[in-house]
C-alpha cells in the first residue's frame, strides 16, 4: 500500500469533520502569528524602555504583553481541543469499523488469526494512527506556519544576519537526518518486542492452570525475563541515540549562535543595528529552532503511524468470505425438510474432510451423528448454519439453497450448542438472553427452569444477576452446559445443532444435563452429535460417520443387529 493511498484514506476519514479541522488550523495559524509577534516585541521592549527610557512604553508594553499571551492562550486551547476532538473521533469510528469488520469474517478467519493480533490492531495500531493525525498533521502545520512567520521577523530585523543563520539552521538539523534511519529501525524493534511481551503475558495468564499443574512458573518467568530484556535492550539503544542526538544539535546550534552573536555584535557596535533589533532577532531564531528540533520526533511518529495504518487498512480490506448475496430473500420459517446433496467439504487444505454426503432430515426428526474422533461430525454440523461454505453439492432447507438466502434469517433459525460452552463475563440473565429477542424476566426464568439451571442459579448470592467470570470460570462444567442449553431454549429456533460435550460429568450433573437436553430437543429438528447412550437411544435415526463418509444409517437396534461400525463403536464407548 503506497503512502499516497494511506494518506487518501486517512483524509477521507477526516473529511466529515473538515469544518472543525479547518477551524483548528485557523487557530493554529493564529498561535503561530502571535508567537512571531512575541519575538517582535523584544525590539521595542529593549530599545524604548531600556535604552531610550521611554515611560509611555513602560506603561503600555507590560499590558500589551499580557494581552498577547492571553489571546495566544485562547487560540491555543481552541486549536488543541478541536484537534484532539477530530483525532479521537476518527479513532473511535475506525475502531468500530474494524470491530464490526472482524465480526463479519467467517469462522475460518478466526481459526487463522490469533486473538492477540486482532486485539493489537484495534487497540495499539489505531492509537498509533491517532498519534499521526493529531500530533503530526496539525503539529506539523502549526510549526510550519510558525517557522514562516518567524522567518519574516528575522528578515525584517536584519537580512544579512538572517541569511547567515539560514546557513546554520539546516546544519543544526543534520543530526536529525543522520539519526532518522536508526530511530526508525529501533522504534520498529521496540514495537515488535513489546508485542512479544504482551503475547507472553496473555499466554501465561490464560494458561495459568496448566502453568501451575506442570509447575512451569520458573520456566515462564525465565521466558518472560528474556523477553523483557530484549525490550530493554531495544529501548536503551533508542535512549543512547537520543542522548547523543540532543547535545549534538545543541553544540551545532551553539556554534551558529556564537557566530551570530559575533556578527550581530559587530553590527550593533558599528551602529548598523540597535540592541533591540539584535535581541528580537535572537528571540525569533531561538523560537524557530524549537519546531526544527521537533521534526525528528514527528518523523518517527509518522513512520509508526503509517505502518499501523497499513496494517489496519489491510485488515479492513480483508473480504468477508461468507455473506448474503445482494438482495437475498429471507428463509421462511422452516417447515418441511433439510436436504444435503452430494456434499463435499474441505478446510484450507485440499484433503476432503467430508465426502459424498447425502442426507434428508424431515422436520421434527432427531438425528444422531456418531463416529470416531476426527471423523468430521462437528464439521458437518457447522455447515448447516453456514459457518463454512462447501466446495461441492448443496444444502437445502425447504428447497432453498442456504447460500441463496439472507444469512441472518438462516442463523436465526438455528441454535447451536457446542462442545465447548461459550459464556461471557456478564450476568447469568444476560448470558441466557444472549441473541434472543424475548428478554423478559419471566421468559429467562422459564428457560433456566426448563434447562434444570434454576436451582443452582437461585443458590447463588445474586441469583440471575451474578456475574460468572471470563468464560464462566466461576461455574462448574455441568452448570455451564445447562446455561448454554437455557440460552438455546430461549432463542427457540426450529433447528437445533447439538454437539454434546465428551467430558464425563458426575452422574447427578449428567442426569440434569440430560433432562435439560430432552427439553431442548422437544418439537425441534435436531442434529445431535451424540456421546451419551441415552441421547442415541432417544434419536429417531442414527448415522455413523467414518473418514468423512456416512457408512451406516438406521435405528439403534437395526445398527446393532448389523454388527458393523456402530456395533464396534457402541461396545467401545458404552459397554462396561
> Which residues are near ligand ATP by CB under 6 A?
111, 347, 353, 371, 373-379
Q: How far is the CB of 452 from Mg ion (least distance, A)?
A: 24
296, three cell numbers: 525528528
Q: Smallest Cα–Cα separation from 234: which of 297, 198, 185, 190? A: 190
Picked from Mg ion, ligand ATP, none, the partner binding residue 264 (CB below 5 to 8 A depending on kind) is: none
**Which of Mg ion, ligand ATP, none sits in contact with 353, Cβ below 5 to 8 A by type?**
ligand ATP
- DSSP reduced 3-state for 216: coil
Q: In angstroms, what is the minimal distance from the CB of 556 to Mg ion?
A: 21
CB-nearer residue toward Mg ion: 153 or 381: 381
How far is it, in rounded angstroms, from Cα 249 to Cα 240? Answer: 15
Of 451, 482, 361, nearest to 414 (Cα)? 361
What Å distances lie between residue 320 and 57, 107, 314, 422, 543, CA to CA? 71, 10, 13, 23, 33
Provide, rounded to whole angstroms, the least separation between the CB of residue 524 and ligand ATP. 21
Distance CA 38, CA 288 (A): 13
Nearest Cα residue to 415 out of 534, 531, 526: 526
Q: Which three cell numbers stand for residue 317?
A: 480490506
Residue 347 interface partner, choices Mg ion, ligand ATP, none, CB cut-off 5-8 Å depending on type: ligand ATP
Binding-site partner at residue 425 among ligand ATP, Mg ion, none, CB < 5 to 8 Å by type = none
Q: Which of 70, 75, 82 is nearest to 21 (CA)?
A: 82
- Least Å distance between CB 373 and Mg ion? 7
Q: How far is the CB of 457 from ligand ATP (least distance, A)?
A: 29
Q: How far is the CB of 418 from Mg ion (least distance, A)?
A: 9
Place of cell 470491530: 99
- Beta strands 414-417 and 495-499: pairing type? parallel
Helix (H) or strand (E) holding 544: strand 541-546
Q: Minimum distance from CB of 297 to ligand ATP (Å)?
A: 45
282 vs 380 by CB, closer to ligand ATP: 380
376: partner contacted, choices ligand ATP, Mg ion, none (Cβ within 5-8 A by kind): ligand ATP
Indicate which of ligand ATP, Mg ion, none lies near residue 254 (CB less than 5 to 8 Å, by partner kind): none
Q: How far is the CB of 379 from ligand ATP (least distance, A)?
A: 3
DSSP symbol at 462:
T
Phi, psi of 415 (to 5 degrees): -105, 135
Q: Which partner, ligand ATP, Mg ion, none, binds residue 413 by CB below 5 to 8 Å per kind?
A: none
Question: Which of the choices Mg ion, ligand ATP, none does residue 375 contact, using the CB cut-off of 5 to 8 A by kind?
Answer: ligand ATP
Binding site for Mg ion (CB under 5 A): 378
C-beta of 45 vs 367, nearer to ligand ATP: 367
Nearer to Mg ion, 378 or 409 (CB): 378
Shortest Å, Cβ 547 to ligand ATP: 9
Query: Residue 249 in contact with residue 175, Cβ under 8 Å?
Result: yes
Question: Is there a contact between 525 and 494 (Cβ–Cβ < 8 Å)?
Answer: yes
Residue 309 CA neighbour count, 13 Å, CB half: 25
- Nearer Cβ to Mg ion (378/436): 378
186 close to 238: Cβ distance less than 8 angstroms: yes
Q: Is 563 left (phi over 0), alpha (psi -120 to 50) or beta?
A: left
Q: Based on CB atoms, which residue is closest to Mg ion, 204 or 379?
A: 379
In eight-state DSSP terms, residue 413 is T
| Residue 502 beta carbon to ligand ATP: minimum distance, rounded to whole angstroms | 7
Q: How far is CA 400 from CA 333, 393, 407, 544, 565, in A?
A: 12, 13, 12, 26, 33
Question: Of 25 and 545, which CB lies nearer to ligand ATP in the complex structure?
Answer: 545
In the bound state with ligand ATP, the residue whose beta carbon lies nearer, of 349 and 508, is 349
Of 59 and 351, the one with the shorter C-beta distance to ligand ATP is 351
The interface partner of residue 111, options being Mg ion, ligand ATP, none and the CB cut-off 5 to 8 Å by kind, is: ligand ATP
Q: Which does 245 bind (CB under 5 to 8 A by kind): ligand ATP, Mg ion, none?
A: none
Cell of residue 24, nine digits? 483548528
Choice between 364 and 374, CB closer to ligand ATP: 374
Amino acid at each position: 500500500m503506497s503512502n499516497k493511498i494511506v494518506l487518501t484514506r486517512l483524509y477521507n476519514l477526516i473529511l466529515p469533520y473538515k469544518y472543525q479541522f479547518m477551524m483548528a488550523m485557523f487557530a493554529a495559524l493564529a498561535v503561530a502569528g502571535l508567537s512571531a509577534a512575541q519575538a517582535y516585541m523584544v525590539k521595542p521592549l529593549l530599545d524604548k524602555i531600556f535604552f531610550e527610557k521611554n515611560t509611555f512604553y513602560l506603561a503600555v508594553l507590560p499590558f500589551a504583553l499580557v494581552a498577547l499571551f492571553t489571546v495566544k492562550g485562547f487560540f491555543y486551547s481552541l486549536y488543541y481541543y478541536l484537534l484532539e476532538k477530530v483525532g479521537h473521533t476518527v479513532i473511535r469510528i475506525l475502531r468500530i469499523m474494524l470491530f464490526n469488520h472482524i465480526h463479519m469474517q467467517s469462522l475460518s478467519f478466526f481459526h487463522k488469526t490469533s486473538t492477540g493480533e486482532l486485539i493489537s490492531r484495534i487497540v495499539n495500531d489505531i492509537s498509533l494512527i491517532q498519534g499521526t493525525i493529531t500530533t503530526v498533521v496539525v503539529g506539523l502545520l502549526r510549526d510550519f506556519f510558525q517557522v514562516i512567520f518567524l522567518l519574516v521577523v528575522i528578515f525584517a530585523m536584519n537580512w544579512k544576519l538572517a541569511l547567515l543563520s539560514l546557513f546554520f539552521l539546516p546544519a543544526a538539523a543534520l543530526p536529525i537526518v543522520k539519526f532518522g534511519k536508526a530511530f526508525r529501525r529501533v522504534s520498529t524493534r521496540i514495537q515488535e518486542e513489546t508485542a512479544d511481551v504482551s503475547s507472553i503475558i496473555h499466554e501465561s495468564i490464560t494458561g495459568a492452570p496448566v502453568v501451575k499443574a506442570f509447575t512451569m512458573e520458573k520456566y515462564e518467568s525465565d521466558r518472560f525475563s528474556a523477553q523483557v530484556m530484549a525490550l530493554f535492550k531495544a529501548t536503551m539503544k533508542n535512549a543512547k541515540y537520543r542522548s547523543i542526538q540532543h547535545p549534538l544539535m545543541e553544540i551545532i546550534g551553539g556554534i551558529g549562535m556564537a557566530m551570530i552573536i559575533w556578527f550581530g555584535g559587530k553590527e550593533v557596535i558599528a551602529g548598523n543595528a540597535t540592541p533591540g533589533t539584535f535581541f528580537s532577532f535572537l528571540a525569533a531564531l531561538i523560537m524557530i529552532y524549537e519546531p526544527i528540533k521537533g521534526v525528528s520526533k514527528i518523523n518517527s511518529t509518522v513512520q509508526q503511524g503509517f505502518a499501523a495504518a497499513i496494517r489496519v487498512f489491510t485488515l479492513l480490506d480483508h473480504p468477508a468470505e461468507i455473506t448474503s448475496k445482494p438482495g437475498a430473500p429471507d428463509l421462511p420459517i422452516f417447515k418441511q425438510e433439510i436436504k444435503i446433496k452430494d456434499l463435499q467439504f474441505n478446510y484450507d487444505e485440499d484433503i476432503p474432510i467430508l465426502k459424498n454426503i447425502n442426507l434428508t432430515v424431515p422436520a421434527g426428526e432427531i438425528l444422531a451423528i456418531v463416529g470416531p474422533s476426527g471423523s468430521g461430525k462437528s464439521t458437518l454440523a457447522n455447515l448447516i448454519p453456514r459457518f463454512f461454505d462447501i466446495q461441492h453439492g448443496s444444502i437445502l432447507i425447504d428447497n432453498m439453497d442456504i447460500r441463496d438466502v439472507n444469512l441472518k434469517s438462516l442463523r436465526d433459525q438455528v441454535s447451536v450448542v457446542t462442545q465447548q460452552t461459550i459464556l461471557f463475563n456478564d450476568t447469568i440473565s444476560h448470558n441466557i438472553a444472549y441473541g434472543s429477542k424475548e428478554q423478559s424476566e419471566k421468559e429467562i426464568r422459564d428457560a433456566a427452569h426448563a434447562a434444570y439451571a434454576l436451582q443452582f442459579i437461585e443458590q447463588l448470592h445474586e441469583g440471575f444477576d451474578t456475574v460468572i467470570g471470563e468464560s464462566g470460570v466461576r461455574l462448574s462444567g455441568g452448570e455451564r452446559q445447562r446455561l448454554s442449553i437455557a440460552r438455546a431454549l430461549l432463542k427457540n429456533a426450529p433447528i437445533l445443532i447439538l454437539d454434546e460435550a465428551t467430558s464425563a460429568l458426575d452422574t447427578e450433573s449428567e442426569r440434569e444435563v440430560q433432562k435439560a437436553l430432552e427439553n431442548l430437543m422437544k418439537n425441534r429438528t435436531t442434529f445431535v452429535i451424540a456421546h451419551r447412550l441415552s441421547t442415541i437411544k432417544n434419536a429417531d435415526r442414527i448415522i455413523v460417520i467414518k473418514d468423512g463418509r456416512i457408512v451406516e444409517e438406521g435405528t439403534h437396534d437395526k445398527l446393532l443387529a448389523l454388527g458393523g461400525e456402530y456395533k464396534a463403536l457402541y461396545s467401545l464407548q458404552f459397554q462396561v
